[in-house]
């Protein structure tokens, strides 16, 4: 079992054109999309050749590393992504890939975090959308992106329309929010551009509520889409996009941290797979999904606005800064909690009910499966089946007679039966 970094070192002498483009290659390039390449493009760090502003190679990024100016735009530890970059710049497989069309936009008001990049090899190109960085603006948009159309989604579509060209095969991918942008762009691409796309890679990215993108939009992209989520997936299960080719990848991390690409495991050049998601993550998914779906769009947006206004009340601009605020910052956050809108307070008050209902449904399904395995049925289920059979017999009239009405007793089952 190995990490993405170890995969790059293991495959270092094998160019992509000799093996074909692999699933792990998509994960590596989505990981590299988190690197800040702006010092190279701005000329702050000169390139080794006359590559200019239009193109440079992955190998040129060693200048960033040697000067100690390489950084990853990612929440939490960036070490894994910098090590991935170190391995990539020294490899034949990734070092010769040309990098172009790099865009990186961060704006606080209105909030926007968008970044995309193209990697070009022999006969193929990979378009990668970056996921969320550590800015509160980025995370706020990460929440909004599933429940409303955002500027980042429209930018992703325009970026794909502009850059997908030529005769080579194109791959599109993204991790986290980047997966959401990749899915949106793929669904909305013009037919001419879509015909150039070989495959779409969605790496633990959220989907869309029906208000943002109708589920029938997925139909065109489904056959060319490969979706990976870790065993403990929460982000990727938010309005989960139902793709036929969905695979559960093994992670070396625990709980929510399995979302990080650097923890995903590779076995013999392929993603190591699990059979099913963690039961706790399924419960969290069921709770959040049912809770959010029962809110209208205005309530959803109000909830997200109130939450992030509260987090920013102490002066923090990134998630990491939330832990550094002093007494004044904490007091500002507490004051902001009291100022939340009544609709947000009401929505938060409903959350425990949805959590209990999701846990109860999960327990009921597990008991049903265990009893079915033994060739038995739950008492309530058996009784309901018998009642339904009797009702069906009464509902079929003899020739020339009028069908009797359904008995009212069948509609007044005991409350306890709804739980078994």
pLDDT tens for each residue of 57-97: 999 888 888 777 777 776 555 678 889 999 999 999 999 99
Q: Which residue has the tokens 């947000």?
A: 344
DSSP state for residue 369 in the 8-state scheme: H
- Please report, to the nearest 10 degrees, the dihedral formed by the alpha carbons of residues 281, 287, 289, 290 taken in order: 150
Start-to-end CA distance of the chain, whole Å, equals: 42
H helices of 33-135, in order, are 38-42, 62-66, 79-89, 92-95
Tokens of 229: 């989520």
pLDDT value of residue 302: 75
- Could you tell me how far CA 136 lies from the centroid of its own chain? 17
C-alpha to C-alpha distances, 111 to 37, 116, 153, 299, nearest whole angstrom:
22, 17, 13, 19
Q: Are 318 and 385 in contact (CB under 8 A)?
A: no
pLDDT value of residue 66: 78
**Residue among 232, 230, 190, 229 at smallest CA distance from 207:** 229
pLDDT value of residue 356: 45
H helices of 67-150, in order, are 79-89, 92-95, 136-144
374 vs 385: CA distance, rounded Å: 18
Sequence-distant (≥ 6) Cβ neighbours of residue 224 within 8 angstroms:
197, 198, 199, 200
Which residues does the chain have with pLDDT short of 70?
Answer: 43-54, 74-78, 133-135, 138-139, 142, 284-295, 307, 310-420
Domain boundaries, given as residue ranges, for the chain: 4-278, 295-381
**Residue among 263, 272, 320, 319 at smallest CA distance from 31:** 263
Class of domain 4-278: alpha beta
Question: 277: buried, middle or exposed (CB in 10 Å: 19+, 13-18, 0-12)?
Answer: middle
Q: What is the pTM of this model?
A: 0.74
Q: How many CB atoms lie within 10 A of CB 355?
A: 17
pLDDT value of residue 416: 28
pLDDT value of residue 67: 74
**Residue among 55, 65, 183, 187 at smallest CA distance from 119:** 55
Tokens of 106: 């961060």
121 vs 94: CA distance, rounded Å: 9
């Amino acid at each position: 079992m190995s990490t993405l970094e170890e995969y790059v070192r293991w495959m270092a002498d094998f160019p992509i054109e000799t093996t074909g483009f692999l699933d792990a290659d998509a994960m590596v390039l989505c990981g590299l999309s988190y690197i800040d390449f702006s010092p190279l493009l701005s000329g702050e760090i000169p390139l080794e050749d006359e590559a200019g502003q239009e193109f440079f190679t992955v190998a040129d990024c060693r200048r960033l590393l040697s000067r100690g100016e390489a950084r990853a735009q990612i929440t939490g530890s960036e070490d894994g992504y910098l090590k991935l970059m170190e391995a990539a710049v020294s490899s034949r497989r990734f070092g010769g890939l040309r990098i172009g069309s790099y865009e990186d936009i961060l704006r606080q008001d209105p909030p926007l975090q968008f970044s995309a990049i193209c990697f070009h090899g022999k006969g193929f190109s990979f378009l990668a959308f970056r996921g969320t960085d550590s800015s509160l603006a980025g995370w706020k948009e990460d929440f909004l992106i599933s429940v409303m159309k955002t500027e980042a989604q429209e930018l992703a579509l325009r970026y794909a329309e502009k850059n997908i060209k030529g005769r080579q095969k194109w791959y599109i991918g993204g991790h986290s929010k980047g997966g959401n942008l990749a899915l949106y762009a793929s669904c909305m691409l013009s037919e001419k551009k879509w015909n150039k796309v070989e495959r779409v890679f969605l790496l633990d990215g959220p989907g869309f509520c029906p208000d943002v993108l109708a589920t029938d939009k997925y139909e065109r992209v489904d056959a060319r889409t490969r979706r990976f989520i870790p065993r403990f997936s929460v982000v990727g299960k938010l309005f989960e996009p139902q793709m036929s080719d969905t695979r559960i990848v093994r992670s070396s991390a625990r709980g929510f941290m399995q979302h990080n690409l650097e923890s995903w495991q590779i076995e013999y050049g392929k993603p190591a797979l699990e059979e099913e998601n963690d039961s706790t993550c399924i419960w969290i998914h069921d709770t959040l999904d049912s809770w959010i779906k029962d809110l209208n769009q205005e309530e959803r947006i109000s909830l997200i606005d109130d939450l992030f206004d509260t987090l920013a009340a102490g002066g923090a601009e990134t998630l990491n800064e939330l832990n550094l605020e002093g007494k004044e910052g904490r007091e500002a956050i507490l004051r902001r909690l009291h100022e939340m809108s009544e609709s947000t307070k009401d929505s938060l008050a409903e959350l425990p009910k949805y959590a209990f209902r999701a846990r109860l449904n999960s327990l009921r399904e597990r008991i049903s499966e265990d009893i079915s395995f033994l060739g038995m049925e739950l008492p309530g289920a058996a009784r309901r089946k018998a009642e339904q059979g009797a009702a069906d017999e009464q509902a079929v009239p003899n020739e020339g007679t009028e069908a009797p009405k359904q008995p009212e007793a069948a509609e007044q089952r005991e409350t306890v039966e709804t739980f078994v």
